[in-house]
Structure formats: structure tokens, C-alpha cells
Amino acid sequence: MLTTSNRADRRERISVDPGTQCLLSVPSMRSPLERLPADAFENLLVVSVTRSPTKIERTVREMGGEPSKVGVVPVSGSSINYDGPLWVADVVGPTDLTGINLRFSNAMRHVEPGAGWVVFDNVNVLLMYAQSDSVYQFLSAVISQARSRQARGVYAVVRDAITDETYASVRELFDEEFATDA
């Protein structure tokens, strides 16, 4: 039986309309998955640059979700060894924005129009490996795909780890902005 953790019960959940793309400021080392409503775990695609599929599966279970309804595009410089219920794409390196976009585009076929969710667990990591204008163009393309499918999008950043100029530039791509300190 799946139960929701006490930690998750206290956390305010994000509520957005279909097609809405939001920028979520999170503390370092926190998962944006903790802020999703329960229905997000019914059809969810996670582009993960900070967590392994095993950790994502654990968080999904803690949040009361069913891992078999969650897909992951792992972005890592290392190989991924996972044999579990999550649907997992081939790993792609964090310097390969084109490859990430390709994996994302292929995975979007599994995101139900008007019902699915898309989560990028940490945009900051992409900014460490690519120029901010390239990340901006990449995010613009990804957001366009999510909007066209009417998927709800949550893109996490650690606000204190990027410059005000970079944040302002990236922020203009999004419909809404949320922040959390816990």
C-alpha cells in the first residue's frame, strides 16, 4: 500500500492549468516532485539531471504515486543502471542539449494531452554545461512542445545559484513562477 509521507503532507502543492509552464525556485538538494499534486503522478515525465531513476522511484512512492506511470529522461555523464517500474529513456549527457531535446520529444508521445505533467528537476545543471543563451533556446523549444500538448510544466531552479540577469532572462519563458523555502 502506498502512503504519502508526513514531509510531503506539509508541503504546499503546485496547482496549474493544462498547458501552463511554471518556473519553480527550490532550495538546493530538494526535489520539485515534492511540490506536485497527487494527480501529476498519473502521467508524468521527469527530465532528471540530479537524481537517478532509483531516487525518483523512491520519491514517487513517498508522494503516493505509482512509478509505472512515470517516465524519466536521465541526463548524466555516467551510465545508468536501473531495472524498475519507471519507463526510462537512454541516458544523455548534460552537454548535449540537442540529445536531451530529442529524448524529451520522443518521451512526450507518452504524455497525455491536457492531463500529463513534465518536470525538469534542475535547470541550473544545464546552465553549468552550456551557455545561458543556448539553455534559453533549449528551454524555449521544450516549453513550446509541452504547451502544444497542453502538458503542465514545472522547471526547477535553485534561485541563489544563478545570476539575476540569467534568472530574469529564463523567467520570461514561463507563464507562472513559484518559490519555496522548505
Q: In what order do the strands lie in the sheet with 21-25?
A: 87-88, 70-74, 44-48, 117-120, 152-157, 21-25, 176-179
Q: How confident is the model at residue 180 (pLDDT cuts 50, 70, 90)?
A: confident
Helices (H), the chain: 6-10, 53-62, 97-107, 123-129, 132-148, 164-171
Burial 151-177 (b: 16+ CB within 10 A, else e): bbbbbbbbbeebeeebbeebeeebeee
Q: Per-residue pLDDT for 9 more than 60?
A: no
Percent of the chain with pLDDT over 90: 88
User: What is the model's pLDDT at position 1?
Assistant: 25
Q: DSSP for 28-69, please give it.
A: TT--GGGGS-GGGGGSEEEEESS--HHHHHHHHHHTT--GGG
User: Which amino acid is residue 104, in one-letter code?
Assistant: F
Biggest CA–CA distance in the chain, Å, is 46
Residue 5 or 43, more confident: 43
Q: How confident is the model at residue 181 (pLDDT cuts 50, 70, 90)?
A: low
Residue 21 or 15, more confident: 21
Q: How confident is the model at residue 28 (pLDDT cuts 50, 70, 90)?
A: confident
Average pLDDT (14-29) is: 93
pLDDT tens digit sequence for 68-106:
999 999 999 999 999 999 999 999 999 999 999 999 999
Q: Are 179 and 157 in contact (CB under 8 A)?
A: no
Q: How confident is the model at residue 29 (pLDDT cuts 50, 70, 90)?
A: confident
- Cα-based angle 36, 37, 39 (whole degrees, multiple of 5): 120
With 0-12 / 13-18 / 19 or more C-beta atoms within 10 angstroms meaning exposed / middle / buried, residue 104 is buried
Reported pTM: 0.91
What SS3 class is residue 2? coil
Separation of alpha carbons 72 and 88, rounded Å: 5
pLDDT tens digit sequence for 124-164:
999 999 999 999 999 999 999 999 999 999 999 999 999 99
Separation of alpha carbons 97 and 9, rounded Å: 35
